[in-house]
Structure formats: C-alpha cells, structure tokens
Structure 1
Amino acid sequence: MESLMSMEAFVSLLNLKAREFLMERNADVGKDIISTLPDSILLHILSFLPIKDVLRTSVLSTRWKYLWASISNIDFDETSNNFPSGMRASIRDSVNKVLLLHDPSSIQKFRLRSRRSVSGSRLNSWVSTAISHKVEELDLDLPVLPSFKLPDTLFTSDTVSILKLNMEIVFKVPRFTRFSNLRTLSLRKVKFHGNQYAEHLFSACLVLQELVLCKCVLVDTTRITISIPTLRKLEIRHPLPLDYQLYGCCVTVCAENLISLSCKSCAVVELVLSNLSSMKDAYIDEECSGYQDNEFSRRVIGVLGGMHNVQSLRLSYDTLQCLAREKNLQASLPMFHNLIHLKVIKKMYDYTNEEVLISFLEKSPNVKTLELPEVWVKNIFPQCLKSCIKTVSIAHFEGWYREVLFLKHLLRNSNVLEKLTVFCGKDLARDLRKLNEINHELQAIHSCEIEFRKGFKRD
C-alpha cells in the first residue's frame, strides 16, 4: 500500500508540475507532457520518493532509463513491510550504483534504514561518496559491528547540516573535528568512552541548534558537560543504562540560548541545568518505579530548579509519581513565576497524583492555561485557579457523577475562567441529551465558554 501511495503521489505531483510548466510557456496541453518537462523538474519530483520507487521509473521510457542516477535525495528504507526480501541485494547494488555513478552535482539527502547490517567497508564507501558529493543531510539507522568507524571526511564536512545516527558504535571523535554547518545532530545508542570525545564533539559544532541524545552510553566517566552557546533545542532520553553502574554520573547542560528542553528518564544521572534563562518550553518524563530511595525525586526537583524561568511546561504522570516521594515537596519545589501554560500527560489507565499537582500549581502563581488528563477527586483548588487561570481543558471525560461534580466545583472556584474544554469518550459524545443536561448545569454556575469535543485528546 505504501508503494502504491507513493506512486500515486508521484503521478499527482508530476501532473501538477507539468501543468505549471506548460502554463508558463503557453504550450499546447494536448502534447506529450512528460517529454516537455526538463530534467530539473523530473528530478525534483523524484526526490520525494523512496529509492525503490525511483528505480521503478527507469522502465517507463528511454527518457527515464538513466534519470534516477542524478537524483539528489537517496532514501533507502529496508524496514518497510512491503519491501520484498528478494529485492534487498539488488536494491543495495542499485544504491551503490547511484552513489558511484552520480553526476558531480550535490546530494541533498542520503538516508539509509535497515534491520540487517551492511558490511563496514561498503557503508564506509557510501558515506564517503555522499560526503564527496557535498551531502547536506546524512541519516543512518542500521545495525553495525561495534568496531565500525565512520570516515574521517565526515568530521570536517562543511556541507552536512543534519546528521542522524542510530547505531551501536563506539563514537570516537578525531581531534581535527570541525562541523562548520551542522545545525541538527541526533545520536541514538552511540557509546562514548570517557568524556573527552563527547565534549570535543559538542565544542566542534560551531552553529548547532538542535541536539538529540537517546540511549547514549557514557563509559569510564563520572562527569560530562554539554556546552553549546548556539543550541536552541535539546532532547535527552534514557542517557545511561543502569547496567553500566555509573549511577550518579553528572551531566551539565550550559546553553544560554536554549528555548526547548525535553527530558525522559534522565534521573539515572545527575542532570544539572546552568544558564538557561531563555528557555520557553520544557517536557519532563521521569520513571522511578522500582527504586526505593528518594534520590530520583531529588534529582527531578534539581532539574525543575534549573528551568524555573520556563513559560510552558509538560509533566508526565510518572514525573508526578516521582515527585510524590519527596517528603517536603512544597518547600523543595522552586517558584515558576514565568510559567503560563502547564500540561499533565498520562497513560490511559494511570491516575494523576492530585496532591503533587496542587503543590506544583501553588508554586506557579501566574499560570493562565491548564491542561488536565482527567478530573481529580479531592475538591482542593490552588489560588492560581481562582485568580489567574483563564483556560482549562480536561481529557478522558465520560460524564460520570463524580466527574460532573468536579466540573461544578472547578467552575465555582474559577473567578477569571474564560473557557472550559472537555474531551469526551465516544459513548458520551453520542449521547447528546446527556451532554445538553451537563452543559445546562454547568452554565448555571459560570458564564464562561464551555465546549465539549468528541474523542480523547492526543499528545
């Protein structure tokens, strides 16, 4: 189905470009459209297709036979379910041919995804060839031997602006590394031995704006610093598996221009945030089940302290559960004077820790927008709800008595509320009579705008 959709999209785009081309030249629409299109337009259209579909166009006509050899986007994805296993070897040979026989023009993107490993020598050759053709985006996601070494030419490329690696390799960064144009760097499952390689890599990224570190392993080090003045967006997920026994490793983030930060399962290390005064958006998702001490909650509080200037914050259910372990949470939490938007995210069958959420709201005196995953049971409402919250949305609403009761208490304690949005389950959404009854009861309490929407809100 995926290939069929790709070809349909290709035909649609081809017809659109053909019409635009002919209209610009006042050409006769009845003529052979494909033959009148210049190679530049056909190559632009081909750049949107996976390479297996690009190669299929070679049988259309003589005009198309060798056109694929000049494409600028080489997108090779073996993980697709509709990819015939018998074609894998021939397709890989074709990728090899595309790279080796490519004309001198630049390659904008080279993307390789596979569940099977490629020989180190072949992969090294492909990457080297792509770099020699001034590739701008390099995306490698495949299993390789731990001893695989990326070509040295990659580390001095002045054209690579996006680099994505999902490979379980030991990442050794040469001393001469210098990325003068790299703006996005995504590393997954990469292993760093000692802190010198990682810190040298970060310092060599002169204009980096987005950094993703997922399941990256630190070995033989207890401290690492991520200092990137140009960084705007940072995502850290599962930074250190516990089986490496580096519990307590300190990761310091220093990025004065950082705007967005996402942390997931980072409490296994000591994450220190320094000089993040520009940050506007943050997402914290911490899992601490299975750990008996309150060390994880202390670390999460430390991370929150480093982002106290944030304007928009998303907290997961697991994070609230982790904070619940802190005995004196109200005193430990920092003040969030700039926080305007607070959202709590939970899994379908979890229950939000109301006491922690209320403690958090008490530390956020200027919140104006609040997104809740469900109603809470206790009728305790923080001061900010009475004085400054103007918009509230609630998900997973089924219309049960206790849920309606919560909405009534909410409206009675919301002095400045302007809009309440309720996301309903499918059974309630079909029961218009019940919805009208609930709406009528709520409107009698508060004159704010009340909207019921069908379906649970997705994150």
Structure 2
Amino acid sequence: MMAACTKKQRVDECIDRISNLHECLILRILSCLPTKDAMRTSVLSKKWINLWTLISNLYFDDSGFSPTKRQKGSFVKFVNRVLLHHSNSTIQSFKLIALDCYDTHQCYVDAWITAALNQQVQKLHIDYMWSTNISPHSLFQCQSLVELKLKLPMCQLRILASVCLPNLKFLSLSRISLKSYSSFPFRSDFSTLKEEVTLSFPVLRVFKSKGCGWLMQNVCLHVPLLERLVFSVSNLDFFSLKSFARTFKICTSRPKVFAFKIEDGFHHLKGIVKDIVLSDPSSSSEATLEISGKATFDKVRFSSPVCMLLKQFNQMRYLKFGNVQIPFWAKDDFVNLPEFKNVRQLQIGKVSGEILLGLLLKLPILETLVLNKELSEFDKMVLDSASLPHCVVSSLKVVKFGVLDGKEHELSLAKFLMENGAVLEQMSFSLSQTLKNDSSKTAVEKIKRQLLSFEKCSSFSFIKFSDV
C-alpha cells in the first residue's frame, strides 16, 4: 500500500501542471518575468515556442548582458528580435533600462519607443543614460498612455506647443531639457520655436519633474484632477540651472500635495518658484505644501524664494518644512508674510524661537505643531516680549517636540506653550540620543519632572515622553 502511494506521488510530480493551465494564465505569468527569461521558455516544448511573443509586458535591462556582449550588439539584437516577433496587438507595459550607448550611428532607442507606442502601450518607462533623439510626435500624441516615466540625462526633447494626453495618470520626467516648437517638425532652423506650451492632462494624478530644463517662455499645465505635484532640483543636474526661468501656470481643482525638493542648494529654488502661478489660489485650500532641502543657506538664496512660494500657496491647509533649517536672519522676511488663514498643521525643521513665533502669528487657526528638529538657540526673553499668537490661545491642540536635548531655550518654549495653550490637549517630547547618552538617568528624570511641573492653562492637556 505504501509502495502504491509512493508511485502515485511520483506520477503526480511528473505531471506538467503549468503547461495544462489556460493560455491566458500562462501569458500572465510570463508577463511578470523579465523578457529575456520569458523568451527562454520557448525551448520547453512545441506549445511554448511562440507563447512569449504574446506577452503584454516587455522589460529590457542590459545589465543582464556582459559589457563585452553589449559592445558586440547582443542587447540590440535581442531587443530587435523581440519587437520583430512580438505578435500581441497591444503592449500593457514597456520598460527599458540601458547602461550602454546604443545610438552612436542609429537611433535604436527612438525606434524601440516608437514600436511600443505603435502597439498602444499603456505604461512606458525609459531609463537611458546617453544622448538620443526621441520623436516627440509619436510620444506626445499617444492616446493610450496611462503612465509615462522618462529619465534621459543627455536628451533634449522638443514638444509641440499644444499637447493633450487624455488617459495619462502618472508623469515623471527626470533630467530632460524640454524645448517647444510648432507642428512643423522637419524644419531644421529655430524659427519654429514657440514661447508658450500648453500641456493638457485631463486625468493626471501625479506629476514629477526632477532636474528638468523647461526652456520656453511660458508653460500652462491643465491638470484638473492633479493630486500630487513634485519639483525636485539638484546642483548636480545641468538643466536645473535654467529650470523655470519664466512663468509656469498650473490649472488644477483640488490638489493634495505640492512638494518642492532642493537636494543640495537653495540657490536653484528661486528659479523654480519665481513665476509659478496657480490659476485659482483657492484650489490649494485642502493641499499640503512641502519644502525640503539640504543646504547651507545665505539670505539671498533662501528667504526670498521661500517667501514667494508661501505667498503663492497662502490658501493651503498643511505646511511642511522637511529637512529645511530656517536661519535666524530670515525672520525679517517671515514678518512680511500674509496670514495663512487655512493652515491647520505645521511641521518645521531646525528653527529659532523668533521665527517660530513669527510664523505662529501668521497661523490663526493652527491645530498641530510638529518640531521635527532641535530648536536653534534663542534668548528666552523673546518669549516674554513677543505678542501672543492667536492660535496658541484659541486653536492649538497638539505640540510635538521631535528632538528634545533638554536645553534651557527648549524648556522655555515648552513652558510658554503650556502656560498659554488654552485648548492644548497633548504635548509630546522625544528624548534625543545625545540626552540619553551624555546624561545620567537622574538628569533625564530631572528634565521630565521640570516639564511636568510647569503650570498648564488647559486642564485637559497631558504630557507624553518617548525616544527618538
């Protein structure tokens, strides 16, 4: 009996269960594999010889080929063979990641992209590190595109004066120089260059631009359903030097997030925000404005562009300064900011007490204050002489100290907020690693007791401690 069971198990193990699946299921499995691996299944049996030609996802990555093979054209032959024999009428996803240069003599990359576009591709991802020419007509007139990601550091892409992609939901452009020209693509002179471009994406949800050069007079972006807009600039990006030199008009209804990220220098931020215009400022009433960056700032490079950005998005609901450290000398610029009547949550990095109080004076209905970094040194006398922000006595419910070192100016600010927070419900402190490492347990407990001893204006507030 045992022998019979064992024999039956062996028979079951020999059954080719995958080949017996319905063809649509097999194709779905193959479409999840890198195209190179899917193509290898053709040697399994006669049934599998042509199955790979019907897959809906094409994924090409030349890192799987040795440098010698890439130089000999093996990767080019592989991609050309796949596209030549691919018999599915549509492509759901086309992804190309190329480390080597394939456009020295022939525009292979453009031909591959055009082939995908001709098969009504929905998701197009191109990551190519070398100079290439891409035909803008087939790219920006492809009605089937739902997702478009282009990372082309050496590419100068010319786009039509009017572009409409009715089904595009996600757009990411990285390190591309964009120029505009009219609908006459075969003219070699620059008389066709247009000073204004209109980009219409009726269902776009996410738009990301990193280190792109928008080399045109005006850009008008029609994105009524936009949820997230991200502009990222770096000193390392060549085209960032000329990014957003003129007007960038955004027409949207109810965006959720506007994010401006400066990776290593705020001197480019001025170029980004100089003339960014919301067609309807009230459209940002439910949005979060995020400003983040890593840099050493001077007065010209920080205050002016940041304040211009804040004024443009003065209807926002949430304001977040990521890793930005607002220097002391910026206080004069912040004094001249308008009131932000809708902001309910403020997250801020390293900041002095003077600037923080100045901002609180501009936020009459603020409910949550999050201090992500340690506070800069400031004279605690500032708290005694400053005007009491309206939000502190009427709306501020939650205060979070992200990093507490137990310094006198930090304790002074905590005491100020406790004594005046009429509706304060919670104040939390995250003890820094420095405090825990450099202080004895007794010293830590002393700081906790000191915080707990402060008089509280609201009888409903409580204090919470945690580790960073």
- TM-score normalised by structure 2 residue count: 0.73
Spell out the pairing of 1:192-341 with structure 2 (5 A cutoff). Answer: 192-193=178-179, 202-219=198-215, 221=216, 223-230=217-224, 232=226, 233-238=228-233, 249-259=245-255, 260-264=257-261, 265-269=268-272, 270-274=274-278, 275-279=280-284, 280-285=287-292, 289=296, 294=300, 297-316=303-322, 318=324, 320-321=326-327, 324-325=329-330, 327-330=332-335, 332-341=336-345
Flag the 1:397–1:111 CA change in 2: closer, same or farther, 3 A: farther
Quote the residue 1:24 is aligned against: none
Quote the residue 1:370 is aligned against: 369
Q: CA deviation at 1:364?
A: 0.7
Structure 2 CA distance for aligned equivalents of residues 238 and 391 of structure 1: 33
Q: CA deviation at 1:405?
A: 6.3
**Residues 76-99 of structure 1: CA deviation (Å, up to 9, x unaligned):** 3446xx875466564554333333
Spell out the pairing of 1:324-403 with structure 2 (5 A cutoff). Answer: 324-325=329-330, 327-330=332-335, 332-345=336-349, 351-376=350-375, 377-378=377-378, 379=380, 380=383, 382-397=389-404
Flag the 1:398–1:319 CA change in 2: closer, same or farther, 3 A: closer
Q: CA RMSD in A?
A: 4.0
**43, 60, 64: which is aligned to 1:76?**
60
Q: CA deviation at 1:218?
A: 4.0
Structure 1 CA distance for aligned equivalents of residues 305 and 362 of structure 2: 18
Task: Name the amino acid aligned to 1:130.
Answer: A
Structure 1 CA distance for aligned equivalents of residues 462 and 51 of structure 2: 58
Consecutive unaligned residues of structure 1, counting only runs of 5 or more, are 1-27, 346-350
Consecutive unaligned residues of structure 2, counting only runs of 5 or more, are 1-11, 183-192, 262-267
Flag the 1:60–1:365 CA change in 2: closer, same or farther, 3 A: farther
Flag the 1:406–1:44 CA change in 2: closer, same or farther, 3 A: farther
Task: Name the amino acid aligned to 2:361.
Answer: E
Task: Name the amino acid aligned to 1:329.
Answer: F
Flag the 1:406–1:180 CA change in 2: closer, same or farther, 3 A: closer
Task: Name the amino acid aligned to 1:189.
Answer: R
**Residues 255-286 of structure 1: CA deviation (Å, up to 9, x unaligned):** 14151212234313523323231211111236
Counterpart of 1:213 in 2: which secondary structure?
strand
Q: Do the aligned residues in 1 keep the contact of 2:321 with 2:348 (CA within 8 Å)?
A: yes
Q: CA deviation at 1:130?
A: 0.9
Count of matched residue positions in the alignment of Structure 1 and Structure 2: 415
Flag the 1:357–1:57 CA change in 2: closer, same or farther, 3 A: farther
Flag the 1:46–1:429 CA change in 2: closer, same or farther, 3 A: farther
Structure 1 CA distance for aligned equivalents of residues 162 and 242 of structure 2: 29
Counterpart of 1:202 in 2: which secondary structure?
strand
Flag the 1:407–1:130 CA change in 2: closer, same or farther, 3 A: same
Flag the 1:74–1:218 CA change in 2: closer, same or farther, 3 A: same
Q: CA deviation at 1:310?
A: 0.2
Quote the residue 2:144 is aligned against: 159
Q: CA deviation at 1:387?
A: 3.0
**Residues 91-125 of structure 1: CA deviation (Å, up to 9, x unaligned):** 55433333322222421111112232232522122
Flag the 1:246–1:65 CA change in 2: closer, same or farther, 3 A: closer
Quote the residue 2:21 is aligned against: 37
Counterpart of 2:401 in 1: which secondary structure?
strand
Structure 2 CA distance for aligned equivalents of residues 401 and 195 of structure 1: 61
Flag the 1:272–1:158 CA change in 2: closer, same or farther, 3 A: closer
Counterpart of 1:173 in 2: which secondary structure?
strand
Counterpart of 1:282 in 2: which secondary structure?
strand
Task: Name the amino acid aligned to 2:326.
Answer: L
1:172 paired to 2:169: no
Structure 2 CA distance for aligned equivalents of residues 52 and 424 of structure 1: 52
Structure 2 CA distance for aligned equivalents of residues 198 and 87 of structure 1: 43
Flag the 1:449–1:105 CA change in 2: closer, same or farther, 3 A: farther
